Amino acid sequence: GQNIDQPTEMTATEGAIVQINCTYQTSGFNGLFWYQQHAGEAPTFLSYNVLDGLEEKGRFSSFLSRSKGYSYLLLKELQMKDSASYLCAVKTNAGKSTFGDGTTLTVKP
Amino acid sequence: DGGITQSPKYLFRKEGQNVTLSCEQNLNHDAMYWYRQDPGQGLRLIYYSQIVNDFQKGDIAEGYSVSREKKESFPLTVTSAQKNPTAFYLCASSIRAGLKGYTFGSGTRLTVV
C-alpha cells in the first residue's frame, strides 16, 4: 500500500516564502507530482520530480529525496492568488498516482 | 485547443438511481482516470485505463463501473450499490510516460437526494 502525509493547513504572509512538506511510503516509486487546486476547481499540474534534487520553475520549486521518502514544494514571493490547496501525488510503476489529502494554504495581506 | 471535458458540471439524482458521468478528451492521451474527492480530502482513485478496451480497479471501485470503447471517452457509472455517492468527481488523462502529470477535467459535482 501507499501512505502520503502532508500538513492539513498552513498560513503565510503575502511576499513571504513557504515550504509545504510531503512524506511518502510506497512500493514501485516512479515519480512525485505537485498540483495546485483552487476551491471548487480541478487540480492543475505544478511540478514533477523523479530524480533527487531541486527543480525550479519561476516562483515555485520542488525538491525530492527518494532515500528519505520526502519532498517539499517551495513557494516564493507569495501572492494572494496562491491561496489554494496543494496536493502531493506519488506515481507508481503501475502508472497510477496516489494523492495525499492536500495542504490548504492561506495567504494573508 | 485540446482538452478534457466533463459533463454535466452539476448533477442531482434520487437515491437508488444509476447515473453516468461523461468524460471526453481530444489530447490523444492513452491513459484516463476517475477520481473522487470528498470535502477537505484528497483524490481517491476509482478506476483507470491505460489503453482502449482495458481498465483496472482503483482503491474505491465498489459501486462504480466504467467502459473504454474509444480512446477519447471514459464514462463512469455510479450505481445504486455505491453507498455514499455524493461527491466531486474528477476525470483525468495523461500520456503513457506521464512526465507532465495529469490533465484534469473541470469535474462533476454529484448530489444524491
Instruction: For residue range B7-47, list pLDDT tens digits in order.
Output: 999 999 998 899 999 999 999 999 999 999 998 788 999 99
B107 touches chain A (CB under 8 A): yes
pLDDT computed for residue A27 by the predictor: 84
Phi-psi region at A91: left, alpha or beta (left = phi > 0; alpha = psi -120 to 50) = beta
Q: Give chain A positions within 8 Å (CB) of B104.
A: 42-44
Residue A53 identity (one-letter amino acid)? G
Q: Average of pLDDT values for B47-62?
A: 94
Residue bearing cell 442531482: B12
User: Above pLDDT 90, what percent of chain A?
Assistant: 83
Which residues lie across from A19 on neighbouring strands? A74
Q: How far is CA A52 from CA A32, A67, A94, B67, in A?
A: 11, 9, 21, 38
Q: Give chain B positions within 8 Å (CB) of A42.
A: 90, 104-107
Question: Which of B31, B42, B45 has its CB closest to that of A101?
Answer: B42
